[in-house]
């Protein structure tokens, strides 16, 4: 029996522009889309248009393309920036009956997100001055269009004390440069998030909403590594904040996160 290959892809479309996906197939299913899409398939010989569909919403399957496409151009019908998740296949993405082995794709897994180029790692550090407390922040701009799912966080600090975890909805001072890397090594850093630092006159920081605290009694000798079963999600216009309650000391934070279309 012929095999049908399902390949998932996350698409980011710039405003007043398009994104080309160089993948061959005969069917495409729109799993999610922030905007109605304009999708153009091109053939193998001269890049000529073999099909163009306008105003395609999520949940729609297009195909079969004959001849098969070797690339797809994606734009939004409105001309706004947009995002989409699509499945590309050779024999269709939905069937009435299924026989044989069924492969289930979990598009929320860290592996799926990293392979699609939407998983990131970043770090930042701060040493506050006398009478001040170090604060680190991961800031998600209001216009980002993504939710950031924190999968892992690690801290190291240079004195015994508490690291307060909080929500803080004002952006601190952005790092320059930004130390963010795509977890799909070799891919560009297209993260929408911003790593920030700033000193604080209080710990927890005034105006923050406290989520909890970590304590390290052994000054500067350990790294706390947290992989929560229920991860923190940073929505657009919010920030995840860490503040250390020992004044005039260093706080370092490392983070892994995924970026998905905002819910």
First to last CA, the chain: 39
pTM score, two decimals?
0.59
Q: Say yes or no to pLDDT of 42 above 90.
A: no
In the structure, what pLDDT confidence band is assigned to residue 97 with cuts at 50, 70 and 90? Answer: very low
**CATH code of the region 7-93:** 2.60.120.380
SS (H, E, C) the chain: CCCCCCEEEEEEECCCCCEEECCCECEEEEEEECCCEEEEEECCCCCCEEEEEEEECCCCEECCCCCCECEEEEEECCCCCEEEEEEEECCCCCCCCCCCCCCCCCCCCHHHHHHCCCEEEEEEEEECCCCCEEEEEEEECCCCCEEEEEEEEEEEECCCEEEEEEECCCCCEECCCCCEEECCCCCCCCCCCEEEEEEECCCCCCCCEEEEEEEECCCCCCCEEECCCCCEEECCCEEEEEEECCCCCEEEEEEEEEEEECC
CATH number of 115-261: 2.60.120
Average per-residue pLDDT for the chain: 82
Average pLDDT over residues 173-188: 91
Q: What is the CA radius of gyration of the chain?
A: 22
Domain residue spans in the chain? 7-93, 115-261
In CATH terms, are 7-93 and 115-261 the same topology?
Answer: yes
The closest alpha carbon to 29, from 55, 8, 51, belongs to 8
Q: pLDDT tens digits, residue range 247-259?
A: 888 889 999 999 9
Confidence class for position 47, pLDDT limits 50, 70, 90: low
Question: What is the pLDDT averaged over residues 100-115?
Answer: 63
């Amino acid at each position: 029996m012929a095999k049908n290959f399902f390949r998932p892809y996350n698409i980011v479309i710039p405003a007043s522009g398009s994104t080309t996906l160089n993948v061959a197939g005969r069917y495409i299913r729109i799993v999610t889309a922030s905007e109605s899409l304009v999708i153009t398939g091109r053939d193998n010989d001269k890049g000529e248009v073999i099909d163009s569909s306008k105003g395609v919403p999520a949940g729609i399957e297009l195909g079969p393309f004959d001849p098969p496409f070797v690339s797809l151009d994606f734009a939004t019908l409105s001309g706004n920036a947009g995002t989409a998740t699509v499945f590309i296949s050779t024999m269709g993405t939905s069937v009435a009956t299924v026989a044989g082995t069924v492969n289930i794709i979990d598009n929320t897994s860290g592996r799926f997100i990293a392979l699609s180029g939407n998983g990131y790692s970043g770090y930042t550090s701060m040493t506050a001055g006398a009478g001040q407390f170090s604060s680190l922040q991961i800031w998600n701009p209001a216009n980002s269009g993504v939710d950031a799912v924190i999968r892992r966080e690690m801290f190291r600090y240079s004195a015994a004390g508490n690291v307060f975890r909080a929500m803080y909805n004002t952006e601190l001072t952005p790092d320059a440069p930004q130390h963010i890397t795509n977890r799909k090594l070799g891919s560009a850093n297209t993260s929408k998030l911003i790593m920030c630092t700033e000193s604080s006159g209080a710990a927890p920081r005034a105006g923050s909403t406290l989520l909890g605290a970590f304590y390290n009694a052994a000054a500067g000798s350990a790294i706390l590594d947290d992989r929560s079963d229920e991860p923190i999600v940073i929505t657009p216009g919010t920030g995840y904040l860490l503040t250390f309650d020992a004044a005039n000391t260093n706080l370092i934070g490392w983070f892994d996160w995924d970026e998905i279309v905002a819910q």
